[in-house]
Structure formats: structure tokens, C-alpha cells
Amino acid sequence: MEQPAPPPYRRIVDTIRRRIDTGELTPGDRVPSTRRITQEWGVAMATATKVLTTLRQEGLVRAVPGVGTVVAEPQRTPRGGAARERRPRETDSGLSRESVVRAGVKVADAEGLRALSMRRVAAEFGVSSMALYRHVAGKDELVLLMADAAFHDIELPEPAPDGWRERMAAGARLQWELYRRHPWLAQYLSLTRPQPMPRAMALIEWTMARVRGMDPVTLIHMALTLLGFVLSTAAGFEDDLEAEQETGMDQNQWMATMEPVFDGILTSGSYPMYAGVSGIDDDVVNLESLFEFGLDRLLDGMETLVEGRAAGAAGAAGAG
């Protein structure tokens, strides 16, 4: 009896697998994007997405934030056994609080905070999750330690900016770059339920150290307003990472799939503001541009507050 033909997605998966097996695609090389798959094989976007999802499930590719979907390192085959992934192993006696925290950061950076679990971190060492509980109390403590460790990596500029506005801008950019390196961190931090993280608190103290003439309540409001702006904007890093993990498409690939839909909306004439930038080829609106524009406008407003207080203080002194 003739075997039924495999579905289109399976044929594409097998073709890309052969390219990997023959060395046409090597570890680290980008595999065809969903858009490229739709063009090369003439399939729907849903089929192209299923292709990349299947390749990830079979361990042939992995998603790299900011790069796309690339060929994964080959699995090694133990003597006399089936193929399985071999991770760097560390004996239980060699585990430490610091090594567990480093492994947690590594997992969260690559896969997002949702993917983090005690079992997932334990797999980095080839031990059971119970072995980790000798060093951290649980996931909540682990993530707190990860966040504090991430802030430890910040290097304050030397010499430090002397002006209050320049110092606040420098502190905001230090946070921004930190959240870029660790996309999960901005969504973990909270303004309403702050966690005790001395290293993060030290950065905020440094950021606000040149603001003069403010009462403590106003100063803390300025600090938290700046922090909240950076956090809310940087939350997009984790959103994009999680979306890429789920769909197999990076931001450019996803936008390409949405282009026909948006074109139809913009040409309707009902949205002139959006239509005004639709014909610009350059990526003029992105997280980076939103951060820089918002930071400048926020500091403009605070400058009005700081200068107003200074003028009021000078007037009071002169009247005295």
C-alpha cells in the first residue's frame, strides 16, 4: 500500500535537516526565517512557523535573542546508547550558591524568566533539583539573588558626571544597558513591592546624588519616576524574547508577516499620524528611540522643577 505523502511542514523540516547533516548549515548559522520559508517553499506563514517550532523541538535549532533562529550544537551519542544532549556536569559537592545563581542568570537571559525553574537550573549541572535546595531556599530566593548579582556587574563611570541632569541621565543609561543584557530583569523589579537589593539601591543613590535643594519626599519621587520610566520601556526586551521563543520569529520576521494587515489599515485614511511614518524605510520607532526620547523629555520636566526650587530658595535668601 502506498504511503501517504508527508505534510508540507515535514518535507521542509527534512530538507533543512539534510542541509544541517551535510554541513551546508553549521552550528551558529541562521536557518531560513519564516518569511524566507514562505517565499522558498510557497507555504503559508502558519506552516513556516510550524517548521521552526518542529526544528526546535527536535533539538536542531535554537532561538538567539537579537540574532534569530540558528543551528544548535550537535548532540553527542554515548557509546551503546541513544543520542542525548550532554551538558557540562558538576558534582553535587561542587555546587555553590554563586554557581547556582550564575546558572540561573544564564537560563533566564537565554530563555526568559518563565522558563526558569529549579529543575531547569539543575539540568545545567546534571543534578536533581533537590541538590539546589542546599544552596538556595527556592525559586523566589534564586531570582532575588540573580537580580542583585546582575546589578553587581554595573561599572560606574569614573569620573562621574558632576551635573545633576547628566548624573541622572548616566544612571538611567546604566540601567537600560543592564536590562538589555538581562531582558528578564526589568519585568522582575517592582515599584510597589520592592525587594531588598542593596546593589540596586546603591545605583539609585548614585544616580540622584547631585540633585540639590529637594526635600526627601520629592527626591524619592524623582528617583522612582525615573526608575519607573526605564523599567516600563525596558520590559519590551523580555516581551520580545518570550514572543520569539513562542513563535520562532524575531521582531523583523514578525513585522514582515503583519505588513499586509497594517498596510490595509494605514491606507484607509483613518490614521494619518501612523500613515505619516509608514513610508519611512529606516526603523525610526523602536525601543531605543522611545528610551532616548522619553528620557530627554522626562529630564526636561525635572529641570523645570529643580530650577524652580533653586530660584525660590535664592529669592527667599535675598529677601532675608
For residue 199, pLDDT over 80 is answered with yes
Among 70-84, 107-121, 154-168, which is the least confidently predicted range? Answer: 70-84
pLDDT digits (tens, 9 = 90+) for 122-136: 888 888 888 898 899
pLDDT score, position 79 = 44
pLDDT band at 301 (very low <50, low <70, confident <90, very high): very high
Give pLDDT tens digits for 62-74. Answer: 876 555 688 887 6
pTM above 0.75, yes or no: no
What are the φ/ψ torsions at residue 16 (nearest 5 degrees)? -65, -35
Q: Is the pLDDT of residue 83 over 60?
A: no
- Looking at mean pLDDT, say which of 30-39, 82-91, 239-248, 297-306 comes out highest: 297-306
Please compute, for residue 216, the number of CA atoms within 13 A of its CA located in the half-sphere on the CB side. 0
Among 120, 88, 90, which Cα is nearest to 104's? 120
Chain mean position to CA 180? 6
At 223, which amino acid appears? A
| pLDDT, the chain, mean | 82
What grid cell was written down for 199? 546593589
Q: Scan for cell 539543575, then name that residue.
A: 122
Q: Mean pLDDT highest for which of 87-101, 190-204, 280-294? A: 190-204
Least confident of 15-24, 25-34, 145-154, 288-297: 25-34
Provide the Cα torsion 189, 174, 179, 221; round to 10°.
30
Q: Is the pLDDT of residue 294 over 50?
A: yes
Higher local confidence (pLDDT), 14 or 260: 14
Runs of H (alpha helix) within the chain:
8-21, 34-41, 45-57, 97-111, 118-125, 139-152, 164-181, 185-188, 198-207, 216-247, 251-266, 272-278, 287-319
Whether residue 77 is predicted with pLDDT greater than 50 in this model: the reply is no
- Which of 242, 272, 269, 266 is closest to 254 using CA atoms? 242
**Residue 173: CB partners within 8 Å, gap ≥ 6?**
295
Q: What's residue 275's pLDDT?
A: 74
Residue 85: what pLDDT? 42
Q: Rounded mean pLDDT of 91-117? A: 85
Calculate mean pLDDT across residues 218-230.
Answer: 94
In contact, 160 and 206? CB cutoff 8 Å: yes
Mean pLDDT of all residues in 9-18: 91
CA nearest neighbour of 70 among 11, 27, 113, 127: 27
Q: What's the pLDDT score for residue 90?
A: 41
Q: How far, in Å, CA of 17 to CA of 11, rounded?
A: 10
More confident site: 285 or 314 = 285
Q: Of 10-14, 46-50, 92-96, 297-301, which range is least confident?
A: 92-96
